[in-house]
Structure 1
Amino acid sequence: MIALIWTAIVARRLVSTGMFLLAALLSTGLSLVPWYAERATGTAAAARIAAAPPADRTVSAGGTVAVDLAGETVMQTFAASARRALALPVDGQAVGVELAGTVTAGERQLPMPLRYREGLCSNAVIDGHCPQATGDVILSAQSAERLGAHVGDRLEVTAGPASARRPLRLAGIYHPADPLSWYWTTAGDAAWTTFDTVVAAGATVRATFDAMLSPQVFTRGGDLTAAVDRMRRVPLQVSTAGVALAERIAADRQVVARGVWLAAAQLAVIGWIAMAVAARYAAEEHRPDVAQLALRGARRWRLLAATSGQTAVPIAAGTAAGALIGLLADGPDRLPVAGGVLVAGLAAGLAAAVLADWRTTRLPVERLLHAAAARPPRLGSAVVEVCVLGVAAASIYQALATSSPFGVQLLAPGMLAASVAILAGRLLMPAATAVGRSALVNGRVAAGFGALLLARRSSAYRMLPLLAAAGCLLVLAGQRWAEAGDARHHRSAVEVGGQRVLTVASGDRVRLLNAVRAADPGGRQAMAVVAGTGPGGVPVLAVDSPRLPYVLAAPASLDTRRLRPPAPPPITFSGTSLTLTASVPAADDLPDAGADPPTGPPVLLATLVVAATGAPVTARFTPVDGGRGPAGASVPDCRSGCRLVSFELLGGRAVELRQLDADGRTVIGPAVFADTGRWRTGAGNIAATISMRSYDGRLALAAVPAGLSKLPVDDRLYVVDAPVPLPAAVAGPLPSSDARGTATIDPFGSRAVPVEPIAAPLLPGAGTHGILVDLEYADRVAGGAPRAERQQVWLAPGAPADVLDRLRDAGLTIVAEDSVGAADARQARFGPAAAARFGVLMSGAGLLAAAIALLVISAVQRRARAEEFQALRRQGVPARALRAAGRGAALVPAALAALTGALAAAVAGAITHPPIPVFTDAWPASAGTRSAGALALLGATAVVAVLFGGCALAPQYRGRERAWRR
C-alpha cells in the first residue's frame, strides 16, 4: 500500500507538489500568528515610548512642607514617602523645593520661582559656578538679559507682598546640557539656588518629586494608575501624562491582537477551502486507481486509504514543514503553539483528503471506467449556492444598518465576491455555449473551440467563487492599507506642521522671530514657532502667521489671514534718552479713588523692549517743578531701536501725559496721547488699578484701588498695537467663557488674554486639540517671561539645504530635528499599521493558496485536454487554433475571477467598516485617502489577474504534448 501511494505521488508530482505547498503555506501562516502578535506589540510599544516627549514619561508630585526646623530631615522624609508610594522602576529622579517669588535687579523685576533641585549642576552648563553658598543663584541667559544682570551682580527676591526682600548673588548663567531631557521638561525657568537659600526665604515651601519612568512601566497594564492612586493617598499632588501613554500602548496591543487573529481566521478559511477544492479535483485522477483496485477485489477502506493517501501524505508533509518553520521563527518556547497548528492542520488536511475521495470510492466500477467524470449532485450544489447568497445578503444588510465592524459584517467581502462569482458562473456556461456555436458557424475555429471548451469545463464554474473571494480579500486589504497609509501621512504632515521642524535653544521670542526673518527674508522657506501649553494641558502654538501657508506640509483647514487682522502699528523709536512732557491735574479733575488715595510725587515707569532682542527696558520718569514740566530718562539699550509696551503709575495719584521725545525727536505727540484707540488697560481676567481719560491732546492716568476683587491686579496702561480680543484658531472644545462672557487663554503661561475663537477641525502642529495664534500679536498682548515653551523653526517643502546654515548664522542653535518622513516611520510601527500589514500578508497568502489550487486543477485536467486535442488534430483542426482555444479557455475564468473580486472589493470597501481602525484615538481617518485607495485597487487587481492567469496557463506548457501541437 505504501509503495502504491508513493508511486502515485511521484507519477502525479505536479499535483502532489501543489498539495504540499498548500498545506505548508497554511501551516506556516497560522504558526507565525503568535510570534507576529508578540513582536508587533513590542515594536508598537517601543515606538510609542520613543515618540512620546519626555513629559509623557514623567511623574511629578508635590506638597507643601514646613522647613523652618530640620529642613533636610523633612525633605528626606518627603522623598522616601514619594519613592515608596511610586514603587516603579525609574530611569531618573530628582527631589527639590521651590518658592514662588519675584527677582529684582535694580528697577527691573521678573516673577519666577526660587528653586532647588537635585542634580542641577550635572544637567546644566554654567558660565560661572554652581550655587554653593546661601544666597547664590543662577539664571538662564534670557532671564538674566531681561533683568539686565551679569555674573557677580547683587539681586533681591521677595516671596510675596508681605515678605521681606532677601539678598541674592548671581553666581552664573546656565544653559541646559540637554534641553530636551526629562530633567528640563519638568523644571522650567527659575532662579536656581541652594536648599538653604530656599529655606531661608520662607518657612513653608513646596516640595517636589519628579521621576522619569522606565519603558517597562507602560507595558504592564494598570501599574502606573495604581502608583498614582498610592501617591495621592500619601497625600501628594500628582500630575502625569504617563497614564494616557499607557492607554495608547494598551490600545495598540488590543488592535494588534484583534487584527492578527482575524487575518489568521481568514487565511484558515480560504486555505482550507482551497485545499478541499484542490483535493476534490485531484480525486478525479484517482478514478483509474480505484477501478483497478476494485476489479482486484480490494475492500472499500483499502480503496479509500490508497486514494486519499495520495493527497494526505503531501498535505501532512507540508503541514509539518510549516509548523517547523513557525517553531524556528518563534523559538522553543512556542512548541505548544507549533504542536497545536500541526495537529489542527493534519486534521483539516486529512478531512479534506478523505472527503474528496469518499464519493469516488462509492461509485460502481462501470462508472469509474468512464472517461468523463460524474457530475456533482445538482441539489447539493444549489443548497450551497443558496446558503452563500443568504449569508452575503445578511452581512451586507448588517453593514448598511449598523456602524459596528464586527459580527456577520466580517463575512461581507468574501461572501459578496463569492455570490457575484456564482451568478457570473451561472451565466458563463450558456453564454459560452452560444458564443461557441456562433463562432463555429461563422468559421472562427479558435474562438468556437475555446468557447465550447469553456462551456464543458465545470471546474471553471466551481473555482470562480473561491478565486473571486481570495482576490477580493487581497484587493480590499491592499485598498485599505493604501488608504490608511495616506491617512497616516496626512496626520504626520498635520502633527509635524512643516516638512521639517527644527527645535532651537530657547531664547527671547522676538529674537527668534528676527533670526528666522533674517535667514529667510522672502518669507516662504522658514517660520518661527513657539509651542507651549495652555489651560488644561491644551497645546498652544504661536506662529508667524503670514508665513504659515508657505511652510505647511499639508494645507491648513482654516484661513490663516484671520489670525492676523489689521492693527495699529507699534510705537517704536531709536535713541539713548527719552523726555516725557507731563503734568499733575487739579484735584477737582481726579476721579474718586476711594479711601487712602496714593500720595506723594508721581513716578511713571515706561516699559520698553529692544526691537532686535526683545529684552525689556524700563525708563523711569519723575516730573519736576511740583509735578509740571519735562522729565528725562536714559535708555542706552534703545540705541538700535525699542518698542513702547506700557506705562505704569507709581507713587502718585494721577498724571497727565502730553508728549514723549527721543533724542529730541517726537515719538508720541498730543494727537496720539489723545487717541483712546491707541491705549488700553489690562486684558483678560484681571482687575485694572489704573484709569485713563484722553482729551485736549492729553492722556490723564489715575490710580484706582482694586477694591474687593479677587482677580489678579494689573496697574499698567498698554499701547494698542495688536487686536484685543486676540484671534485664536481652536481645534476641539472652545475655551470656556468667564463671568464677563469672554473666553481667555494664556498663550505663554504668564498672562491670560481674551481671545476670539475660530473653530477649526485640525490645526498644524496640534492636531485635533489645540490653539493657534499669531506669534507677534500674542507676544505684544500677553508678553511675559519665557516659561515651559519650545521654540521651533518650521521649514517649507523644498526648502534649500543651506537654510540651516543661514539660521545658525542668524544666532539660532539647533538642538533637535523632526520631519514628516520620520513621523511616517513612527506611525508605521504603531499597532494599527502593524495589524493592517499582517492582514495584507495573510490576504496575499490566501490569494496564493487559491492560485495553487487553480494550478492543481489545471494540472489535473491537462491530460484529458491533451487527449481531446489530439483527437481534434486527427480530424484536421489546426494546432494553432487549438493552442489559442486552450489559452482562452484557461484565461477567461481567471480574468473573470479577478474582475469579480475587484468589483466586490470596491463595493465592500464602500459599505463595510474596517475592523482595524487607522488610529486608536479620535483622529479622523477619512482625509485625503480616496485616490490612494483607487490606485491600490487597480494595482492589486492587476496582480490578481496576472497570478491567476499564470497559474491557469502554466500546466499547458509542461511536457508539451507534441502529438497534437505539430
Structure 2
Amino acid sequence: MIRLVLAMVWTRRGQSVTLALLALVAVASAVAAPAYLTAIDRAIAAGQIETSTPAERGLVIAGTQDNRVDSGAPDFANIGAALIELPGFDYVYGSSFPTVGLTKDRTYADRMVYRQDLCAHVRIVDGRCLVGEDDVIVGAAAAKRAGVTAGDAVTLTFAQFVDDPHDPYWDPNGIPKRLVIAGVYEVNDPNEPYWGTHGYFTSIPGRGPTQPIFTGPVTFATIDHGMTDLSIDGAARPEALDVDKLEALRSGLLSLTRKATEIGPNLQVDTEIPYLLTRIDSGRAAAHLLVPALAVPLVLLACFSIFLAVSYGTSGRRPELALVALRGSRWWIRWWLAIGENLVAILAGAVAGCLAGQLLVNAVAAARFPGVGVDPGWASLRYAPHAAVAALAAAVLAQRRQLLSPVAALLRRNPVAVNGPRALVTEALVLLLAVICAVQLAVSDGSLTGVGLFAPAFVILALALLAARALLPLVTRYATRALEAGRLGTALAGFQLSRRPGAQRLFALLVATVAVAGYATCAVDAAARGRTVQAGLGVGADRVLEVEPVFRGQLLHAVRSVDPDGRFAMATARLRNSTGLEPLGLAVDSTRLAAVATWPGRGPSADEVARDLRPSSAGPMVIGGQDLTLKATATGVTKGRELRLNVAVSSLTDLGDTVIGLGDLREGEHSYLQRAAVCAQGCRVNGIQLQVNSGVVGVTGDVTIESMSSGTPGDNVVLSDAARWRMVRNGTVSAAPGGLRIQVSAPGGMPDGAWVQPVDTPYPLPIASAGSAPSGYITGLDGKAVPVTTVAELPAVPRVGSHATLLDLDLADRVATDAAPALQPEVWLNDQAPADIAEQLTARGLTVVTDTRASQVHRRLDQEGPALALWFHLTAAVLALLLGAFALVLAAAVDRARRVEDLSALRTQGLGGPVTTRATLWTYPALVGIAAVVGMLTAAGAWAATGWALPLAGLDPVALPLPGWPRVLVLIGVTAAVLVVLAAVALATGRDLRGRIKP
C-alpha cells in the first residue's frame, strides 16, 4: 500500500512538490515567528546598548563622611567585596569637599577634588599636571576669574555653607593650607564617561561655568576638612553589557544595592542602567505584539492555501477515488489511498519547513542585525508540530467531500457546487470571528492580547471571502455578455473562473495574499514616516543643545551673538507649568522660528506664526548704567506696613537679571539709590514692585515716581505717560503732575507684591496653540498667570507635542518679573550651524549639557523594538507571495488535463488559434489582476479596522500627530510588484497550457 502511495506521488510529482512547498512555507512561517522574536530580542538589546547614554552604561556608589568624626562614616573599603557581584566594569575613585580662598567671593565655593587617573583626562594649557605634594591644578575659566596662573601660591580652606535668609555665603571652617598652582587645565569633553554624573563642570547663572580644583590623594588627605563626598564611578565595558548577560547584570545590580545598604545607611547606588534594561524590556514587549500580528494571518493563509491546494488536487482525482470506492475497498484503505499522497507531501514539506524557517531568520538577522547573531537552540521549533498538524487537518478537511461522497457523485464530471449551506456557514463563522476580534480590540483600547491578537488575521480573511463571494458572480455575468457579443476567448476565460468549483476560494486566497503584503506595507511605511516625525518634529530641529541654567536674557544674547543674522540658531525655554493641568508651554525666539525649527506639515506656516507671535509694539524702557536712582514721593506711610520699593531689570547684554532692592519708602519726597552690576552695560526695566512683609493685610499706599535714571545717556524711562504702564492687580496707575502715580489697595494682602510694568509688549500675549486652546491665561516664565490670546492653531508644537502652546521668548521675558534662570534652556540649530557652534556658545557663557541630533534620535528609533519587529512584516509579505504563487501553480496544474481536453476538442471543431490563446493566457492573469485591486482595498480596510492598535511609535513618544496611513503611492507600488510576480506565474502556466493543446 505504501508502494502504491509512493507511485502516486511520483506520477503526480509536480503537484506533490508544489503541495510540499506549500507545507514548507506554512511550517516555515510558524517557525520563523518565534525564531525571529528570539533574534530580535538580541538585536533590540544590542541596539539600545549601542545608542545608550554614558549614564545608562555606568553607576555611582556615593556616600559622605565627616573626617573629623569617625562614627557613622561608611566603610568604602568593604565596597570592593560588593563590586565582585558586578564584573566587567572599570571603576574610578573620587572624593571632594567645598573650599574657599581661590577668590575673595564667598557667595560661591570651589570644589577640591581628588579623582583617580586625572592627568589622562585633562589638557594642561599652562604649567604641568599634578606631581608632588601640595600641587593643585585649576580650570582656565576659574584661573581667569581669580587672576592666577601656573606657579602662583594660593591658600585654601575647607568651607561650610551659612544659610542666611538675606545673604547666604560660604564660611571658612578649617585650618588654611598653602598650595601651589602647578597648572591650568581645560577639559575637552565634560560629558566623557570618566567624569561620571557629579556635575563638575556645570554653569552657575551670573558666574559662568564651574571648574573644580584638582589635587592628588596625599594633598587631599592633608588638608583639614570635614564633611566629604566620596564616590566610586563604574563604567561598563562591552562584556558587561553583552546581550547574553543582561539578566546577570540585573541581578548583580540588585545584589550590589542590597550590600551597599547593609554596609552603611549613607551609601547610595545611583545608576540609570535599570532604565536601559527597562527600555530593552519595553522594546521586546512591543516586538512580541507586532510580530504575531502578521504571523497569525500568515499561518492562517498558509493553512488556507493547503486547504485549497488539496481540494484542487483531490477534485482532479475524483475518477480514481470513485474506482477505489466502486471496488468496495474498506474505509481505511479508501482513506489511506485518498490522503496518503497528500500526507507524504505535507510531511516532507513540514520537515523541510523547520529548517527553512530557521535558515530564513538566520539570513534576515545576518543581513539586518550584523554582529548580533541568533540565539542557538531549538526553542523556535516549538510551534512546528502545531503548524504541521494544522496543515494535515487542512488537507483532511479539504478531502472530506471526496472521502464521504458516493460513487455516483464522484463520477460526475461537474461536481456539486461548493457554495452550499456549509460554505455559507463557514464564511459566516469567519465573519463573526472577525467582528468579535475587531470589537474586542476596540473595547480593550487596542490591546493586542487574547482574541484581539487575531483581529488582523480574521478581518483580512473575512474581507477576502466576502470579496470572492461578491465579485465572481460579476465575472459570470461578464463572461455571458462576452459570449453573447461573440468574444469567445474572453467568455471561455471568464467561465473557467466562475464555474470552476475552487475558483472562488483561489480568488479569496489571492486576495488574502495581496492583503497580507499590503497590510505589511501599511505597517512598515506608517511606522517609518512616524519615526521621521518623531525624530524631526519631536526633537524640534536638526540639533538641540540643552545648556546649563542661565538667565533668559543671557540665553537670547548669547545665541544672537553667535548668529546675528538668525540663519541657524534659536534660543528656547519652557514655561513653568506649575499646575500640571494646562498644556506644556514653549517660548522661542520667534524671529528665527522659520529658519531653524522643524515645522508640522499641516496648519499655518512658520513664517505666518512668527509674525503673529511678535507683532509691532513699543520699545522697552531702558536705563543705561549700573547706578540706579529713583526719585519718589510717598504719602500715607503707616508704621509696620511700610512699602518696600524694588525694580526688576534684565541686562541688555549677557550679565543676567536681578531685582534691585531700593529699601522702604519714606513719607515725603526722597531719592533712592542702588548699584546693580548687571546693568553696567544697560538694563531693560521689567517692572516696579511695591512689597510688604508677608502676612500683612489691609495694605494701602500712594506713591508718585518722579524720575528713574542711571545718569547715563541711554536712559529712556517714560514716567509722564500713564498709558505706558499697567498695574493688573492690587492697585491702579495714573498720571500725576510730577510723574507716575501708583495707588496701592490690597485689603487681603499682597504676598507677591504689587507690580507696575511697562507697556512694551502686546497684552494679552499672543500665542499659538496645539490641541485645546487655553482659556484666557497660561502660566508664564515666572510661574505667574499671564493673559493670552490665541492667534494660530497648530497640529503640534515642535518638541513639546500636540497639546501645547508656543509664544515669543523675548516678549514673555519682558512680562516676567522673577529675575530667575530660564527653565530648560535650549539652543536649537539647523543643518547650517557651524561645526564649532558648541565651542562658540561656551565662549559666550553657555555650558552645553546635552547634544541631541535628529539623526541620532532617528537612529535610536530604528534600533527600538517596533522598528526592528517590522522587518518580520516584510518577511511575511514575501512568504505570503510565495504561498499565493505556489497555490496558483498547483491550481493550474490540476486544471490543466481537463482544460487541454476541452480546448483540444474545441480546436478540432474549429476554434481559432487566437481565441484559444486568449482563453488560455487570460484566465489566471485576469484572476490575479482583479485579486490585486481587491487585495489592496482589503489591506486598506483591515488597516483601518486594526492598524491603529499596532504599537508602531517609539517606546516613549511625545504626543505628536503621527501618520496613521501609508503613502498611497507606496501601497500602490507594492501592490503592483505583487501583481507583476503573480501575473508572471499565471502567464507561465497559461503558456504551458497553450503548448499542450493540440492544433
Question: What TM-score do the two structures reach when normalised by structure 2?
Answer: 0.72
Change (3 A) 1:80 1:841: same
Could you say which residue in structure 2 is the equivalent of 1:550?
A: 595
Residue 657 of structure 2 contacts residue 678 of structure 2 at CA under 8 Å; is this kept in 1?
no
Matches within 5 A, 1:127-138: 127-128=125-126, 138=138
One-letter code of the match for 1:193?
A: I
Q: Which of residues 192, 208, 221 in structure 2 aligns to 1:181?
A: 192
Q: Does the 8 A contact of 1:527 with 1:551 survive in 2?
A: yes
The corresponding residue for 2:312 is 281
**Corresponding position of 2:879:** 845
How far apart, CA to CA, are the structure 2 residues paired with 1:631 and 1:924?
Answer: 50
Residue 258 of structure 1 corresponds to 289
Q: How does 1:10-409 map to 2 (within 5 A)?
A: 10-55=10-55, 65=64, 67-69=66-68, 77=75, 80=78, 84=82, 88=86, 90=89, 92=91, 95-99=94-98, 105=103, 111=108, 114=111, 116=113, 118-119=115-116, 122-128=120-126, 138-139=138-139, 141=141, 147=145, 149-151=147-149, 152=152, 159-160=161-162, 161=164, 165-166=171-172, 171=181, 174-182=185-193, 183=195, 185-187=197-199, 188-189=202-203, 190=210, 192-193=212-213, 203-204=226-227, 215=241, 234=265, 243-287=274-318, 289-290=320-321, 301=332, 304-306=335-337, 308-327=339-358, 334-337=376-379, 340-357=382-399, 359-360=401-402, 371-373=413-415, 375=417, 378-398=420-440, 403-406=445-448, 407-409=450-452
CA distance in 2, matches of 1:87, 1:51: 25
Give the deviation of 1:181 after TM superposition.
2.9
In structure 2, do the counterparts of structure 1 residues 140 and 320 end up closer, same or farther at CA, with 3 Å as the change threshold? farther
Give the direction of change, closer, same or farther, for the CA distance of 1:719–1:872 in structure 2 (3 Å limit): same
| 1-structure distance, mates of 2:648, 2:440 | 71
- The range that moved more, 506-515 or 423-432, is 506-515
CA-to-partner distance for each residue in 1:893-938, whole Å, 9 max, x for gaps?
3344333333333333333364531236574777252563544443
- The separation in 1 between residues aligned to 2:726 and 2:233, in whole angstroms, is 41
How far off its partner does 1:460 sit?
1.3
One-letter amino acid matched to 1:390: L
Cα distance in 1 for residues equivalent to 2:457 and 2:813: 59
Structure 1 segment 457-606 matched on structure 2, within 5 A: 457-501=500-544, 517=560, 520-528=563-571, 543-555=588-600, 569=619
| 1:761–1:57 Cα change, 3 Å | farther
Using the TM superposition, name which of 906-915 and 355-364 deviates more. Answer: 355-364
Residues 1:672 and 1:200: Cα distance change in structure 2 (over 3 Å): farther
Residue aligned with 1:17, SS: helix
CA distance in 2, matches of 1:925, 1:897: 38
Structure 2 counterpart SS, 1:138: strand
**What is residue 624 of structure 1 aligned with on the other side?**
none
CA distance in 2, matches of 1:941, 1:461: 21
Q: Contact 2:291–2:873 at 8 Å: present in 1 too?
A: yes
After TM superposition, the structure 1 stretch with the greater mean CA deviation from structure 2, 200-209 or 47-56, is 200-209
**In structure 1, how many angstroms separate the alpha carbons of the residues matched to 2:897 and 2:315?**
11
**Superposition CA RMSD, Å:** 6.1
In 1, distance between residues paired with 2:585 and 2:396?
68
CA distance in 2, matches of 1:533, 1:629: 36
- Corresponding residue number in structure 1 for 2:942: 908
Whole-angstrom CA distance in 2 between matches of 1:775 and 1:352: 68
After the TM superposition, which residues 913-952 of structure 1 pair with which residues of structure 2 at under 5 Å, given as runs?
914-919=948-953, 923=957, 927-930=961-964, 932-952=966-986
Give the equivalent residue in structure 2 for 1:688. Answer: none
How many angstroms apart in 2 are the aligned matches of 1:115 and 1:377?
Answer: 88
Percent of residue pairs identical: 26
Instruction: Return the offset for 1:868.
Output: 0.8
Counterpart residue type for residue 446 of structure 1: G
Give the whole-Å Cα distance in 1 for the aligned partners of 2:596 and 2:274: 34
Q: CA deviation at 1:836?
A: 3.4
Shift, 1:265, TM fit: 3.0
Q: Which amino acid aligns with 2:115?
A: E
Q: In 1, are the aligned partners of 2:29 and 2:879 still within 8 Å (CA)? A: yes
Cα separation, 2, equivalents of 1:179 and 1:502: 14
Q: How many residues align?
A: 910
In structure 2, which of residues 857, 864, 884 is the aligned counterpart of residue 823 of structure 1?
857
Structure 1 residues 185 and 536 mapped into 2: Cα distance closer, same or farther (>3 Å)?
Answer: farther
The alpha-carbon deviation at position 856 of structure 1 amounts to: 0.9
Structure 2 CA distance for partners of 1:46 and 1:772, relative to 1, 3 Å = farther
Q: For residues 84-111 of structure 1, what are the alpha-carbon distances to aligned partners after superposition, in whole Å with 9 as ceiling and x for unaligned?
A: 5996565555543455x988845x6754
Q: Measure, in 1, the Cα distance between the counterparts of 2:425 and 2:30.
A: 31
**For 1:683-732, what per-residue CA distance to the aligned partner results, in whole angstroms no more than 9, with x for missing partners?**
9xxxxxxxx9999879999xxxxxx99x99x9x99999889999999999
Q: Which amino acid aligns with 1:918?
A: L
Q: Tell me whether 537-546 or 22-31 shows the greater mean CA deviation.
A: 537-546
1:458 is paired with a residue whose SS is coil
CA distance in 1, matches of 2:95, 2:812: 33
Give the aligned partner of residue 666 of structure 1: 713
Decide whether the 8 Å contact of 2:93 with 2:233 is kept in 1.
yes
Counterparts of 1:769 and 1:246 in 2: how far apart (Å)? 30
CA gap of 1:271–1:170, structure 2 versus 1, over 3 A, is farther
Partner of 2:207: none
| Change beyond 3 A, Cα 1:288–1:495 | same
Aligned residues of 1:413 and 1:472 also touching (Cα < 8 A) = no
Taking the aligned partners of 1:224 and 1:721, their CA distance within structure 2 comes to: 56
Query: Runs of 5+ in structure 1 lacking a partner?
Result: 599-603, 622-627, 650-655, 684-691, 702-707, 736-740, 747-751
CA deviation after TM superposition for structure 1 residue 547, in Å = 0.9
Superposed displacement of residue 384, structure 1 = 1.9
Q: How does 1:707-786 map to 2 (within 5 A)?
A: 763-767=797-801
* Bigger shift: residues 431-440 or 213-222: 213-222
Residues 272-310 of structure 1, C-alpha deviations (whole Å, 9 max, x = no match):
221122122122343455467678887665555455343
Deviations 1:542-588 (A, max 9, x none): 643321233222339995668767777567799xx9887789x99x9
Cα shift at 1:783: 9.6
Going from structure 1 to structure 2, the CA distance change for 1:2 and 1:480 (only over 3 Å counts) comes to same
Deviation readout 1:469-506 (Å, 9 max, x if unpaired): 34333323322332222222211112321134468999
Q: Is the 8 A contact 1:862 1:956 kept in 2?
A: no
Q: Distance in 2 between matches of 1:619 and 1:379?
A: 91
Question: Cα deviation per residue 1:624-664 (whole Å; 9 max; x = unaligned)?
Answer: xxxx99999999997xx555789999xxxxxx9967567xx
Q: Does 1:889 align with 2:934?
A: no
Choose 177-186 or 762-771, whichever is displaced more: 762-771
Q: Distance in 2 between matches of 1:282 and 1:394?
A: 34
Residue matched to 2:992: 958
Output the amino acid matched with 1:854: L
Contact 1:531-1:541 within 8 A present in 2 as well: yes
Give 1:269 deviation, angstroms.
Answer: 2.0
SS of match in other structure, 1:527: strand
8 Å contact from structure 2 (residues 283, 955) kept in 1: no
Paired residues of 1:259 and 1:915 also in contact (CA < 8 A): no
- Distance in 2 (CA, whole Å) between partners of 1:871 and 1:14 is 25
1:686 maps to: none
Instruction: Give secondary structure in 2 for the equivalent of 1:958.
Output: helix
CA contact 1:524–1:550 (8 Å) conserved in 2: yes
Name the structure 1 match of 2:908: 874
1:454 to 474, 479, 497: 497
